[in-house]
Amino acid sequence: MRSIQEIVARRRRQDRWFAVLGVFCTSIGIITLIALLANLLIDGLGHLDWQFLTSFASRRASSAGVLAAVVGSLLVMLVTACVAAPLGIAAGVWLEEYAPKNRVATILEVNIANLAGVPSVIYGLMALSVFVYAFGFGHSILTAALTLAVLILPIVIVATREALRTIPRTIREASYALGATKWETVWHHLLPYSLGGIATGVIIGLSRAIGETAPLVTIGALAFIAFLPDPPVTGEFPFVSFSWLGSDFTVLPIQMFNWVSRPDPAFHHNAAATGVLLIAITLGMNAIAIFVRYRMRKAIQW
Amino acid sequence: MTSTPLPQTEVLGAIRRRQRRSLLDRGAAMLLGAAAASSIIITVGIVMVLAIESSTFFGEVGILTFLTDTVWTPLFADARFGILPLVTGTLVTTAVALAVAMPIGTIVAIWLSEYAPHGVREVLKPALELLSAVPTVVYGYFALLFVTPLLQKLMPELPTFNMLGAGIVMGIMIIPYVSSLSEDAMRGVPRILREGAYAMGANKLLTALKVVYPAALSGIGSAYVLAISRAVGETMIVAIAAGMQPNLTLDPTQPAATITAFIVQVSLGDLPHGSVGYQSIFAAGVVLFVLTLGFNIAGYRLRKRFREAY
């Protein structure tokens, strides 16, 4: 009898120890995240002022700012979203709703899973050869945006498919029963109902794109840009101009990489301030994505 | 009751509307199919670019020299083209990262799936996933200016650029890749298996290690493999914190360049189309692509298997 009680006690002890170990390991991750945020805030928050946000890059750390990088990041993200969202959603819809269940669909599926795992720097190499040289787009905003759009395409496709998969079959059957064509079913029912999941995927993809550095270094993005691209709105007819698409650019992560690679510690503070901006943007976008997903899960109950 | 026949114009209108709708339907299907095909075009584009751009390089250097020479100095006057130093750099940083991420990620996954209360799991899992949302350039900053100085307090002779600090930070970054996928796999294990173990007198730990972990092994394996692929392809952390000097060593306290860091380093300089530097980054890219592709396919296969298991 005693030995059984001993075994039971020992096993309870094992369980308690493992629970402690689990909490410890989980907190390593959480504590690192907090340490990283605290480190950036301590190093960078003092430099993050209006002057920093409205100045161009400079040889002197104290007068350097991120204006060109902020504008560059916004413009690149805008074009990336305009390319990746329609293309990714369309591909996701086809794969989930239209694709015949045969080898072609399997190949496409394996292919997308692989694309999601290709290192981002490889996308940069592809863009350098195709967009920069073969298409002649140069080191422009357009090249950067296309590169990042290709990079986040798998994220958008997978999110679209998962959102569509949660819609019950009965919704589709009901639509067909009323005489709707497949496209009408997709456009009037499936897309509106899956909008939350799709939006989440697009936001997550963009938050990934805004922090990407390696592929943009590869296509030759410059860190020292002391001008803004041409404005998209002009005073004379036709009032909109797309010449900014071909402009040289820099973005926040490139600027941060440039500053962190310099030996002078004064520039490290600038890098930290840029890092605070980047983290605020990416974590903010992730928070929005989590919020959207949560709201949608509550709003729609089949 | 008498039914009045529809006027002919209305019938024709209805037919025309139906034709228009069916045309729209077919057009939409084609456009959507074209969008889906674009993913194939991208893959073909990547493979062709790597093959074409590196063909000149391999024509001149020769694959055997490329794989066996121990010095990588493509931009020096005395150019040598041995990929081995970059491969060892990649292997060492990846090994350090995995030594951090695999045990921690697995323990976190077991704890979240078998021990943590529902509410705690719902909060902690997305919180941990934020680790992989942080831009890698920020991790590079953290590795160079926080983790390495911290390590230097323990090991005073550690150089400013070293693979250890970069690898540790990379490992923490990929914890959520291991923990989230493994946890999904373990939660997919049917409850009955656990009940069986409990009925035999096992505690949670024994159940987790002897029943749930083996049952979810292919899913967990795919998590490991994808984490490896991720670590091999990681660029900015190693480019910033591990130094960019090719260095044939297996000692993690040394600075070294990885394949990815080399591509970044060369791209930072002036890079004329068709120059030696230009060709060498595509040659390095081929090695990187083949390595990660192998891991990705293995991971995909494993994950498919675990999905089909129940």
| pLDDT tens digits, one per residue of B235-262 | 999 999 998 888 888 889 899 999 999 9
| pLDDT recorded at residue B274 | 76
| pLDDT recorded at residue A124 | 93
Chain A residue numbers with beta carbons less than 8 Å from the beta carbon of B138 are 36, 40, 211, 256, 275, 278-279
- Which of B30, B55, B141, B169 is most worth mutating to test chain A (most A CB atoms within 10 A of its CB)? B141
In B, residues 71-110, which contact A (CB 8 Å cutoff)?
103-104, 107-108, 110
With an 8 Å Cβ cutoff, are B232 and A126 in contact? no
With an 8 Å Cβ cutoff, are B264 and A214 in contact? yes
With an 8 Å Cβ cutoff, are B232 and A108 in contact? no
Task: Give the chain B residue whose CA is nearest to the CA of A204.
Answer: B133
Chain B residue numbers with beta carbons less than 8 Å from the beta carbon of A40 are 138, 141-142
Side chain identity, residue A71: V
- The reply to whether A222 touches chain B by the CB within 8 Å rule is no
| pLDDT recorded at residue B99 | 96
**Beta-bridge partner residues of A240:** A233
| pLDDT recorded at residue A272 | 93
Q: How confident is the model at residue B117 (pLDDT cuts 50, 70, 90)?
A: very high
- The reply to whether B170 touches chain A by the CB within 8 Å rule is no
Domain boundaries, chain A: 2-45, 51-299
In A, residues 59-88, which contact B (CB 8 Å cutoff)?
86-88
Chain A residue numbers with beta carbons less than 8 Å from the beta carbon of B46 are 118, 122-123, 126
Annotate B235-263 with b (16+ C-beta within 10 A) or e (fewer): bbbbbbbbbbbbbbeeebebbbbbbbbbb
- What is the C-alpha separation between A9 and A16, in angstroms, rounded? 11
| pLDDT tens digits, one per residue of A143-173 | 999 999 999 999 999 999 999 998 999 999 9
What would you report as the CA-atom Rg of chain B, rounded to the nearest whole angstrom? 27
- The reply to whether B139 touches chain A by the CB within 8 Å rule is yes
Domain boundaries, chain B: 8-61, 84-309
- What is the C-alpha separation between B239 and B245, in angstroms, rounded? 10
The interaxial angle of helices A120-127 and A141-165, nearest 10 deg, is 130
Q: How confident is the model at residue B126 (pLDDT cuts 50, 70, 90)?
A: confident
| pLDDT tens digits, one per residue of B166-221 | 999 999 999 999 999 999 999 989 999 999 999 998 899 999 999 999 989 888 99
Closest Cβ opposite residue A28 in set B104, B115, B145: B104
Tokens 């990660």, located at residue: B292
Superfamily of domain A51-299 in CATH is MetI-like (1.10.3720.10)
| pLDDT tens digits, one per residue of B51-110 | 998 888 888 888 888 888 888 888 777 778 888 999 999 999 999 999 999 999 999 999
- The reply to whether A225 touches chain B by the CB within 8 Å rule is no
**Beta-bridge partner residues of B72:** B81
- Indicate if the pLDDT at residue B300 is higher than 70: yes
Q: How far is the alpha carbon of B267 from chain A, nearest alpha carbon, in Å?
A: 5
- Indicate if the pLDDT at residue B307 is higher than 80: no
Poorest-pLDDT segment among B7-11, B231-235, B280-284 = B7-11
Residue ranges in chain A whose pLDDT is less than 50: none
Residues 6+ apart with CB under 8 A from A299: A196
| pLDDT recorded at residue B174 | 94
Cβ(B162)–Cβ(B141) below 8 Å: no
Element (H, E) at A180: none
Name the CATH topology of B84-309: MetI-like fold (1.10.3720)
How far apart, in Å, are the Cα atoms of A170 and each of A99, A173, B28?
Answer: 19, 5, 22
- Burial class from Cβ neighbours inside 10 Å (0-12, 13-18, 19+) for residue A232 reads middle
Chain A residue numbers with beta carbons less than 8 Å from the beta carbon of B236 are 213-214, 253, 257
- Indicate if the pLDDT at residue B222 is higher than 80: yes
| pLDDT recorded at residue A282 | 93
| pLDDT recorded at residue B3 | 63
| pLDDT recorded at residue B172 | 95
Signed CA dihedral, A70, A71, A75, A78: sign only: positive
Chain B residue numbers with beta carbons less than 8 Å from the beta carbon of A205 are none
Q: What is the complex's ipTM, to 2 decimals?
A: 0.89
Q: How far is the alpha carbon of A112 from chain B, nearest alpha carbon, in Å?
A: 7
- Indicate if the pLDDT at residue B309 is higher than 60: no
Chain-wide mean pLDDT for chain B?
Answer: 89
Poorest-pLDDT segment among A141-155, A236-250, B17-31, B288-302 = A236-250
